A and B are shown apart, each in its own frame.
Chain A
Amino acid sequence: MDYAYVFKYIIIGDINVGKSCLLLQFTDKRFQSAHDCTIGVEFGSRIVNVAEKGVKLQIWDTAGQEQFRSIIRSYYRGAAGALLVYDITKRTTFDHLTMWINDLRNYSTSNMVIVLIGNKCDLSDRREVQKEEGEAFARDHGLIFIETSAKTAVNVEDAFIKTAREICNKIDDGVFDLTNEMCGIKIHHKLPNENPNTRRNSNPNQTSGC
């Protein structure tokens, strides 16, 4: 499928909140509970349809353990969107959000679109963070908010696409300087030798709802 833009995303958040699972659900539409822990950064991509344009999302999945934070920071730069994930069944992962937000503000481009994701919403019987708290935090920090389940795929699609839509809006408003590669957005110039081997590409039209 053809696409007009490439957006660079980064997924961040505490250890074991389900970052890699969100990515896998989005790119491959499957859930793997015993996923190898992420070392440094890993990578996934998929083309989606946003505002009648094809957009290729290049998603960088990061290690959550705090020891890896310094290497993770070098990937913040040049990302147009960030998915900041916490686990609704684990209060501490929510408590650390401020730290993550500060980190993002300090090391990323200023126009970055951030979506706050409360993951594991299928485990609502073990919920420790109420939806309202997530909403309030997002409101206070100017973030998009959504609760997802990487396991049941609830809202996963939405989380990625809402971010893309917001970035598209910002492009239309002229917020981004697209000549600067560090903004995390590339206009796609079709090359004759374009390699369409992105095996993670899948049907971009399918959306899911909570």
Chain B
Amino acid sequence: MASLCDTMRRQILSRAFYGWLAYCRHLKTVRTHLITLVYPIPIEMNERVDKHLSLTIQSWTELFLDKQNENLSIDKKEIYRRIYAGGCDSSIRKQVWPFLFSHYSFESTNDERIEIDQIITDRYNKLINEWQNAEETIIKLDIQRSNCSKNSTTYLETNQNSNETIISSVKNILTKNLSSNPHSLQQKDSNISNEVFFEESPIHTVAIPIQEETNKSTIAYNQAVLIARTHTESVIDRSSPYNIIETDTDDDDGNLNFKTIEDNNETIIPEQDDEQNEIISSASSVTSTTDVYMDAVEILNDEQPNGSLTPIYYGSFSKETVDTFSTNLHRIDKDVARCDRNYPYFMNSKNLKKLRNIMCTYIWDNLTIGYIQGMCDLVAPLLVIFDEEVITYSCFCHLMKRLLPNFPNGTGMDEHLGHMRSLLQILDSELYEHIHHTGDFTHFYFCYRWFLLDLKREFIYEDIFLVWEVIAAARRTVSKRFVLFIALAMMKYYRDIILDNRMNFTDIIKFFNETAEKHDAQEILRIARELMLELQKLIDNK
């Protein structure tokens, strides 16, 4: 009996010991995996977060507008704290969001903000000008290709007017009947390269975008087929804060190379460069040098029926740039046309046009990244709030700095999914065990879209505004990755349904697909803040 008791005692002790050991290991997991997720701030700060707190019109006036008028410093922590607790009043979002999305800083003066606006506007206009030039080139290229493949005779007989008609019709197709943008496209049609490219001279056209009056005298329209192009630096401003990835698409060739396809009758056009520069970057302030040089034009592989060759026109851009942008443009057009068409704002084609402009500008500036599906989703809520291109563009650029790593090829998504695993393990071990035991679940892929789009597709628009501003404010108060806690809250909210129905991986993906846009955002955010507090306490008690 005594020995039995002894054995029991020992067993109890050893179990307690192993239990304690497991707990220690558990806490170690918390520390190593999650300590970086939350800011080491006093918990009281978080506990002061009141359910009924939010950034109302009145508190915005007191905390910002009044202070600004009196040139007093602004208590941005208090502003963030209120937004984190309950979001902003919808009527002041347009004023607050530029701060939340880092377009302005709360330390800036009114004059500084005006200056920032001016800089970004100039930059936006410059970029838009550049890509619209490239778009023109693409349109012309398309016309040329289709003309070549269809009927070369028709092409040769085509006169100026009908070309304009074709251009505008192609443009319409490309922009998916979006209302035309008043500034730039039309005016460029008239003065850039139509005349040159569609020059009556039927075959050996000099395909250079210049005004013919000035150059007719200097250029010999003969056997040489030339094309002007610029280094891609001309379109990538390395000093810009908006370039996330350094783009390096320099051509191998040196500057001012002059090549001809047919080696007899070489032509050199020295006056070309200045003219060229002006046209390419008519938005002035080109920050980097534009190296224009002449390069051989590509010849269409399939010869014309009459045996002649037609130059492919790349305008002032490299073939790579034009081709890449053309592919991207196509994708952008497809996605813009189908972006949130059920939301009233995007039923208006003018607004789709704005969305397209912003998207194209961003992609033009980040051509190496290229358009990836989902980007339109991220522009959309910002555009709805601002209803204005430049500020939306600027905020989107800042947003993408944070979200781009989550897109394919980045490491952000794996990190998020890994954190999600650790967090669930710590904060809801029962649910974690269930998920762990239902097989092919280890990757938490059902969260993929949540993280890629910052939950944009999971909530209705009104709620997405709230969710996004809370995430942005959380970055300045509690965690850089608050989206994880919202994701966790989504799981917590439905945990009983998941557990009771013994849902497996497939069931859960299906479940969250079907409940998209049906979630109670307020409640989920409340749970997320609670979970955040729980983790902070856990880490603090280590």
Q: Which residue numbers of A lie inside 8 Å of B, CB to CB?
A: 8, 15-16, 33-43, 45, 58, 63, 65, 67-71, 74, 77-78, 181, 193, 195, 199
Contacts and interface: CB of A to CB of B under 8 A. Distances in A.
Given A34-B341, A71-B448, A74-B445, A39 B374 contact: yes
Given A16-B334, A36-B340, A67-B408, A43 B513 contact: yes
Contacts of A74: 443, 445
B3 interface: no
A201 B336 CA distance: 31
A39 B340 contact: no
B417 to A, nearest CB: 11
A68 B373 contact: yes
Contacts of B341: 34
A71 B408 contact: yes
Contacts, number: 72
B445 A39 contact: no
Interface of B: 331, 334-335, 337-341, 370, 372-374, 376-377, 407-409, 439-440, 443, 445, 448-449, 452-453, 457, 500-501, 506, 509-510, 513-514
A67 B407 CA distance: 8
B501 A193 contact: yes
B515 to A, nearest CB: 11
Contacts of B500: 193
A147 B409 CA distance: 34
A36 B338 contact: yes
A181 B504 CA distance: 12
Contact of A36 (B339, B440, B445, B448): B339
A68 B372 CA distance: 9
A39 B501 contact: no
Given A65-B331, A181-B439, A70 B448 contact: no
Contacts of B513: 42-43
Contacts of A78: 440
B411 to A, nearest CB: 13
Given A67-B409, A193-B501, A37 B445 contact: no
A77 B457 CA distance: 26
Contacts of B449: 39-40
A77 B440 CA distance: 10
B457 A40 contact: no
Contact of B372 (A41, A42, A67, A181): A67
Contact of B448 (A35, A37, A40, A45): A40
